């Protein structure tokens, strides 16, 4: 059905942009090969009258390969861990499951995902357990620690006549003239954490008796305000750098369990969340290639002496090719495709 051919570039004016700012490839059938690496991290900070301490837990890297297709309004991408990938044993084993989707319009951008991870290692093991990595040739690991994150945000793009979020994220369009925009909106985040026992190594339990959390579940509802921008480069403006920085404040509520102290309800807590994105690449008429890093962080109980944050990071490498629109001689199929606006 798909045939090789030049990318069918159109002026973005047909889709509501000011003429010349954005080039659209929505009438092409687009195929993308994707390599994604993700890690989740959990940071617990402890403050005393004289010092500040932190536990920096991370998961081993999770690497996946997959395929994406895009055509008009239809976008689909699937990745999976390949059998040849072997995680570094010094960081321990990790179990992970995740799913997400979004809607990227000219004015509105919606993104939501969930991530479950079990199995963490202590990145600063030697700060808590002297020479631990040297003696054991690995990091202090906690296979029992598990985290769950559901992250959703809806943002409005203010400079939507000039800036293309689709060009910065998915290369369904190309930013032809540099543009930036303020964005603002709402977010909802649910974080939970569970461990069989205190996450503090045994040498520190007496020092931080109130910080031996074994479980918490917190809801966060907040407002976001930030910036997104894309800078095209080169004679033909096919090279690009893009970034997004979208912080926000939230009201939090839920419950916390502390070892030997029991469970307490938490309400009217102040939280902080952020979305960060940085990418670069080449976006031609036929081929495109690039790399993007995305990080989502939720800082729980920001106003307390013992703040706790969970972050989800994604590194994405991709290469894609644009094909001519799909065609078929079957009139019944054509009729269905036209009805659902895919022809």
- Residue 147's CATH number: 2.40.128
What's the confidence (pLDDT) of residue 306? 67
**Structural domains counted in the chain:** 1
Query: What are the tokens at 235?
Result: 């004679």
Mean pLDDT, residues 26-35 taken together: 90
Q: In this structure, is residue 5 part of a structural domain?
A: no
The partner residues of 148 in beta bridges, in order of sequence, read 116, 192
* pLDDT at 115 > cutoff 60: yes
Q: In this structure, is residue 4 part of a structural domain?
A: no
Query: Which ranges of 12-95 does DSSP label H, i.e. alpha helix?
Result: none
Q: In this structure, is residue 3 part of a structural domain?
A: no
Give the integer Cα–Cα distance in Å for 318 and 328: 29
Summarised one tens digit per residue, pLDDT across range 248-293 is 999 998 887 766 666 667 777 888 999 999 999 999 999 999 999 9
Q: Which helix (H) or strand (E) holds 168?
A: helix 165-169
* pLDDT at 337 > cutoff 50: yes
What's the confidence (pLDDT) of residue 1? 41
Q: In this structure, is residue 147 part of a structural domain?
A: yes
Please give the C-alpha separations between residue 277 and each of 18, 79, 84, 336, 342, in angstroms, as whole numbers. 25, 20, 29, 38, 31
CB under 8 A, 24+ apart: contacts of 328-331: 328/1
Q: In this structure, is residue 2 part of a structural domain?
A: no
Mean pLDDT, residues 86-114 taken together: 90
Mean pLDDT, residues 292-297 taken together: 96
Q: In this structure, is residue 157 part of a structural domain?
A: yes
Please tell me which residue, 257 or 121, carries the higher pLDDT value.
121
Mean pLDDT, residues 185-211 taken together: 76
* pLDDT at 331 > cutoff 90: no
Query: Is 17:162 a contact under the CB 8 Å cutoff?
Result: yes
Owning domain of residue 146? 10-339
* pLDDT at 111 > cutoff 80: yes
Q: In this structure, is residue 188 part of a structural domain?
A: yes
Q: What is the pTM of this model?
A: 0.87
Q: In this structure, is residue 246 part of a structural domain?
A: yes
């Amino acid at each position: 059905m798909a045939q090789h051919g030049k990318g069918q570039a159109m002026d973005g004016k047909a889709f509501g942009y000011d003429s010349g700012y954005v080039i659209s490839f929505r009438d092409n059938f687009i195929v993308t090969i994707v390599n994604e690496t993700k890690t989740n991290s959990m940071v617990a900070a402890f403050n005393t009258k004289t010092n500040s301490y932190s536990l920096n837990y991370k998961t081993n890297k999770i690497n996946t390969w997959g395929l994406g297709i895009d055509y008009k309004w239809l976008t689909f991408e699937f990745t999976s861990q390949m059998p040849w990938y072997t995680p570094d044993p010094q960081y321990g084993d990790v179990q992970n499951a995740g799913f997400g989707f979004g809607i990227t319009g000219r004015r509105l951008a919606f993104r939501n995902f969930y991530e479950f991870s079990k199995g963490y290692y202590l990145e600063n093991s030697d700060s808590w357990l002297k020479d631990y990595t040297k003696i054991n040739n690995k990091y202090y690991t906690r296979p029992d620690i598990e985290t769950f994150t559901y992250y959703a945000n809806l943002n409005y793009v203010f400079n939507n006549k000039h800036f293309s979020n689709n060009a910065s994220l998915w290369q369904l369009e190309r930013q032809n003239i540099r543009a930036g925009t303020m964005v603002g909106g709402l977010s909802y985040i649910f974080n939970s954490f569970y461990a069989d026992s205190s996450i503090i190594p045994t040498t520190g339990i007496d020092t931080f008796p109130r910080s031996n959390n074994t479980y918490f579940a917190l809801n966060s509802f907040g407002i976001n305000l930030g910036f997104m921008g894309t800078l095209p480069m080169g004679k033909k403006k096919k090279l690009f750098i893009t970034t997004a920085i979208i912080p926000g404040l939230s009201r939090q509520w839920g419950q916390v369990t502390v070892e030997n102290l029991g469970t307490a309800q938490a309400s009217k807590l102040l939280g902080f969340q952020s979305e960060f994105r940085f990418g670069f690449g080449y976006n031609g008429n036929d081929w495109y290639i690039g790399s993007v890093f995305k990080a989502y962080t939720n800082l729980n109980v920001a106003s307390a002496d013992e703040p706790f944050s969970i972050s989800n990071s994604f590194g994405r490498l991709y290469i894609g090719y644009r094909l001519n629109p799909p065609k078929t001689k079957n009139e019944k199929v054509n009729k269905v495709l036209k009805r659902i606006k895919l022809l």
